[in-house]
Structure formats: structure tokens, C-alpha cells
Structure 1
Amino acid sequence: MNIKSLLQLCLLAALWGGSFLFMRVAAPVIGPAILIELRLLLAALFLLVVAFFLKRSLKLRRHWKHYSMLGWFNSALPFLLLAYAAQTLSASLLSILNATAPIWGTLLIAIRFNKPITLKVSIGLLAGVCGVGLLLGFDPTLVEEGSWIAITAALCAAFSYGIATCYAQGAGTVEPFANAHGSMWAGSLLLLPLLPFFPAQTSNEPQIIGSVLLLGVLCTGIAYLLYFKLIADIGAASALTVVFMVPLFGVLWGHLFLDELIGWHTVSGALIILFGVALVTGFSPLKLWQKRSPEHV
């Protein structure tokens, strides 16, 4: 992994970490459903422009069901659940709970494909549970009304990402860019019927408008492009490093821009959860660096 790829990886983590900040700012004002509908539409429109210049086709007749599955479980549903939780929970807490997604994905894949759960994976799962328990058990903000419903929503969002990962494991091969582009359109369409069930209101505050635009274009559309570029440049395993960096930026942005407190339980819980993720996924930064070829140094 060269310096350029490392910087791009940090930028991607910063963008995805920023998504929790923007949801925390905008969701309580305009409502979670309309926020995510706008996020998906803005990302879809941005990727449509990119697809036009790159001359990339979605091949909807062949892959519309695939896009629908990804659009719901990898975009619309988890985005909506996180935005709902963002009305109550801090950006820091959201970003850390979201980091449990690889744990859910690995567990679901093991169950679906009848893969044995090794001792290492079991320890990782236990570490993830302990990390979440430590994180939540000492958070003073969780005494607020509805906080545990918000926590459940955030964990369900991570579980939804796990379902998407499990589905993608057995799905046919579709170009990564088409996956991103098609799933954004599918997610925006699938979310439309739910809009009447969530209270929403408009806002002309620059802070809210800016948060919506940045969330849709920067943290979703551009972030997806950057992610798939990294996969092409350094491989999927190396790109997985972003999972470990997103909570760091989520906590940092929440502290810098929203004055969220960083307690000992926040740091400890996050580290234990990420340790569990590393065990469950078999991820090792040292192995990735050892496997790099001389031309990538």
C-alpha cells in the first residue's frame, strides 16, 4: 500500500465518519425518512452523471432484483435506521455501533453456508458483545427517553449491513460501480412508500441544507467512487481497513463540531469492538503490509 492509497483510505474513513455527523445535525430537524430519501437521490444523481461520462450501463432488466436487494439492505434500511437513531444518539456512539457490521456479516455467512465457527471467531463475537456492553453501560446520555430504542435501531442497521454482506457472498458478479449506482436508485424507490409514516418538515437553515448536500454527494456518492477505486488499486482485503478507521473519525468529528464528550468507556468500548471485528474477519494489518509487492512500496 503506497502513500497515495493510504491517504485515499484516510479520506474515505473521514467521509464515512462524517456521515454520522451530518445525520446527527439534520435528522432531528427534517426527520430521518426525508433525510435518507434525499441522501439516496443525491447520490444516485451524482453517480448517474459519472456513469454518463464513463459510459457505464446498469443493465436493469438483468440485475434489477439484485439492485433491489442491495438497495434495501445495504442502503435504504440501514441509512433510515441510523438516521432515526441519530435523533437521540451522538455521532460518536453511532459510528462505533455501526462498526459491528462485519461481525454480523461473518456470523450470518457462517450460518448460511454452514461454515464452522472457530474458537477465534467465537472470541471475536464475545469481544464485540463486551465492547458494546461497556460502551453502553457507562454512557450518561442513555438515560434519555427513547435512547434504548435508538440503540436497537443502530444495531439493527449494522445487522442489515451484515445481511447485505451475506447476500453478496452468494450473489452473481456485478460490476462494483453498477452495484453502487443501481442500489442508490433502488433504495430511493423502495424508501418512498415509508415517507408518510415518518414526520418531516422543511428547513431553510444553511446548516441543514449543507448537511443534506454533503451527506448525499460527498459522504455517499463520492465516497462510493473512492471505495471502489481503492478496491481496484489495493484489493478488497486492504480496503477493509476503512472499517477500523471510520469510528475514529466519527468520534473526532462529533467531538470537534458537536462538542461530544470522549469518555474512557468510549475509547475502551471502541477498541474492544474493533478487536472483535479483527478476530471475526481474520483481518491483520501486519499481514497486508507484509504481502505488499516491491512496486507498491
Structure 2
Amino acid sequence: MAQLKNIIPDNKIIIYMLMLIITLLWGYAWVLMKDALTYMGPFTFSALRFGTGSVTLLLVIWILKIGLPPRRYWKHLVVIGLLQTTVVFTLVMYALEFVDAGQSSVLLYSMPVWSSLLAVQFLGEKINPAKMTGLLMGIIGLFTIVGWDMWVGQPIEVIVGQLLIIIAAIAWAISNIYYRRAVSGLSQLQVSAMQMFFGAIGITLAALAMEWGEPIIFNAASIYYILFTGVLASALCFTAWFFIISKIDMVTATISTLLVPIFGLTFSSILLGEDMTVGVLTGSALIIVGIIIATVAKKK
């Protein structure tokens, strides 16, 4: 059976380059996800995005003659799909109606905190001093970016949106641990295709229930948003993500995703005109230093 890990060399530099690429694509995708709401409802966009992503991956595994995973794994793939795709992106896309794209990306990428705690509890991983220092610096950086007063003076819908995104971050963290425990032996292409397929079904049901009859505008921009987020930010990136968390420890892998808010904030500032404040720049610097400490520092 063709495995992505047999195609990509087992080389830490290659893995770190993959991490950089997917965080850059995910950061840019936040801008598209926010702007897509001018053309259609949040659940409808997510259904089209992940429907496109799952069809793309199913075509790839058919062309490569990889085949579908054994039926005994399907229940696990349903759980991962519901957690990582349905729950995360229904909550995030709904919250984007009230919360800025940049701040939304920051809140979702509190995921490394939850993943690290769960990895210690359920995977038996250790957080050495370098990783702990890097994680703490990253979290301080996140708080610096969103501002210490993010809960003060905010409309209730914004606060609800922020809470929904934090719940989405926890769901993503749980899916990471569940992947390692239940299906890490499968091809990453199989896992990504099937979990995205099951997750897209869940989002489609939500869209039919919540947005039936609402207008959908198809034009060059909205089609580009669907294709970019579906094929690149979903099909490609989540396959690469499953590869990464199968090759290196969960703490290091998830800390690297703290780069996503930096890219998300940068693209949001350039393309959406959202503020790039001193707090954003300071927090970004703390995150970058934290990632360097966590991934480069040698174990004593």
C-alpha cells in the first residue's frame, strides 16, 4: 500500500519545510474563509470546501490504486472526521461572522496547549524544559496578540464566537490524539480522504438544516476560495499534517502551528485592512522565539 511516509524522505529538514508550507497556506486560508462569507453562508462554504477536498483526495487514492482503508477502521475515521472537520469548521466558520479573521486564527491555535496536555496523558509523551519554555512563550505571544482585554467591552456575540473557536481548538486537539492512538498505521492519504469525506457529510447536514434557501453567489472569487481552501488548505495540508504527527512528537508538531496566526494576521492586515498593532508584532516575535526554542534546543 502506498504510504506518504514512503514517498517523502524521513528527514527532519523536509518535515520542518512541510510544516512551514502548511502553516503558510493555512494562514492565508483564514483571509479567504472570512471573505467567503460575503458570498454564502458559513456552513455552505465549509460543505463546498471539504466536499471539494474529499473528492480530490478520493480521486488521488483511486488514481494511485491505494484503495479504501479496511472497514474496521471506518468507525475511527468517522470520529476523526466529526471532530477535526465537522466540529472544528462549523464552529469556526460560524464564529467568523462576529470575530476578526486574525483573532480567530490566534484563538484556534491555542490547540497546541490542549494537544500537549493530552499527549502527556494519553500518549505518554514528555514535555522537556525546552518544549515547555517554547510552549509557554507561544501562549504568552497569543495573549499578547489578542490583547489582555479581549473579554472586556466586547459585544456578547463576539465573546460567544471566541468561546466557540476555543471549543474548536480543543476538538482538533482531541482528534490529533485519537489519530495517533487509532489509525496512525494507515496511509495518510486514506486517513485524510476518509475523515474529510465523513466530516463533509456532517457539515452538509448542518448547512441543509441551517442555511436552506439562503443565497449562494458563484463567481471567480468565490470559486477560487472554494478551490484553494478545498484542494490546497484542506486536501494537501491535512494529508501533510497527518504525515507530520506520525513522524515527530505531538508537542513539537503542534507548537509549530503557532506560526499560522502570524501568517493569518499578516495576510489579514494586507488584504482585509485589519490592524497590525505593536501587540501583534510583539506576540509574533514571542511565538517565533518559542518555536525555535522548542524545536532547535538540544535535550540535556
Normalised TM-score (structure 1) = 0.79
- Aligned partners of 1:153, 1:177: CA distance in 2, in Å? 29
Helix, strand or coil for the counterpart of 2:294? coil
Residue 178 of structure 1 deviates from its aligned partner by 1.1
1:193 to 199, 205, 229: 205
1:154 aligns with 2:165: yes
What letter corresponds to residue 23 of structure 2 in structure 1? A
What letter corresponds to residue 187 of structure 1 in structure 2? G
1:169 to 165, 180, 183: 180
What's 1:291 paired with? Answer: none
C-alpha deviations, 1:12-36, integer Å up to 9, x for none? Answer: 2221112211111113541111111
- Deviation larger for 9-18 or 100-109: 9-18
What's 2:99 paired with? Answer: 89
Helix, strand or coil for the counterpart of 1:201? coil
| Mapped contact 1:99–1:273 kept (Cα < 8 A) | no
- Aligned partners of 2:127, 2:30: CA distance in 1, in Å? 32
Residue 126 of structure 1 deviates from its aligned partner by 6.4
- Aligned partners of 2:38, 2:180: CA distance in 1, in Å? 35
- Aligned partners of 1:168, 1:142: CA distance in 2, in Å? 39
> CA separation of 1:142/1:223 partners in 2, compared to 1, >3 Å: closer, same or farther?
farther
- Aligned partners of 1:208, 1:141: CA distance in 2, in Å? 35
What's 1:100 paired with? Answer: 110
What's 1:179 paired with? Answer: 191
> CA separation of 1:45/1:20 partners in 2, compared to 1, >3 Å: closer, same or farther?
same
1:32 to 42, 59, 84: 42
- Aligned partners of 2:179, 2:74: CA distance in 1, in Å? 14
| Mapped contact 2:130–2:297 kept (Cα < 8 A) | no
- Aligned partners of 1:230, 1:242: CA distance in 2, in Å? 11
| Mapped contact 1:139–1:265 kept (Cα < 8 A) | no
> CA separation of 1:158/1:61 partners in 2, compared to 1, >3 Å: closer, same or farther?
same
- Aligned partners of 1:92, 1:162: CA distance in 2, in Å? 20
What's 1:222 paired with? Answer: 236
Residue 257 of structure 1 deviates from its aligned partner by 1.0
> CA separation of 1:259/1:184 partners in 2, compared to 1, >3 Å: closer, same or farther?
same
- Aligned partners of 2:135, 2:259: CA distance in 1, in Å? 19
- Deviation larger for 156-165 or 116-125: 116-125
What letter corresponds to residue 255 of structure 1 in structure 2? S
1:213 aligns with 2:227: yes
Residue 150 of structure 1 deviates from its aligned partner by 1.1
What's 1:109 paired with? Answer: 119
- Deviation larger for 137-146 or 209-218: 137-146
- Aligned partners of 1:15, 1:113: CA distance in 2, in Å? 28
- Aligned partners of 1:256, 1:207: CA distance in 2, in Å? 17
1:245 to 235, 259, 263: 259
Normalised TM-score (structure 2) = 0.78
- Aligned partners of 2:155, 2:220: CA distance in 1, in Å? 28
Residue 116 of structure 1 deviates from its aligned partner by 8.7
Residue 224 of structure 1 deviates from its aligned partner by 3.2
Q: CA RMSD in A?
A: 3.6
| Mapped contact 1:21–1:254 kept (Cα < 8 A) | yes
C-alpha deviations, 1:175-200, integer Å up to 9, x for none? Answer: 22211111111111223332244334
- Aligned partners of 2:297, 2:129: CA distance in 1, in Å? 21
| Mapped contact 2:188–2:243 kept (Cα < 8 A) | no
- Aligned partners of 2:126, 2:241: CA distance in 1, in Å? 30
| Mapped contact 1:86–1:94 kept (Cα < 8 A) | yes
- Aligned partners of 2:147, 2:59: CA distance in 1, in Å? 42
| Mapped contact 2:132–2:294 kept (Cα < 8 A) | no
Gap runs ≥5 in structure 2? 1-10
| Mapped contact 2:83–2:175 kept (Cα < 8 A) | yes
What letter corresponds to residue 105 of structure 1 in structure 2? S
What's 1:283 paired with? Answer: 294
- Aligned partners of 1:40, 1:97: CA distance in 2, in Å? 22
Residue 104 of structure 1 deviates from its aligned partner by 0.6
> CA separation of 1:141/1:20 partners in 2, compared to 1, >3 Å: closer, same or farther?
farther
Residue 221 of structure 1 deviates from its aligned partner by 1.4
| Mapped contact 1:203–1:209 kept (Cα < 8 A) | no
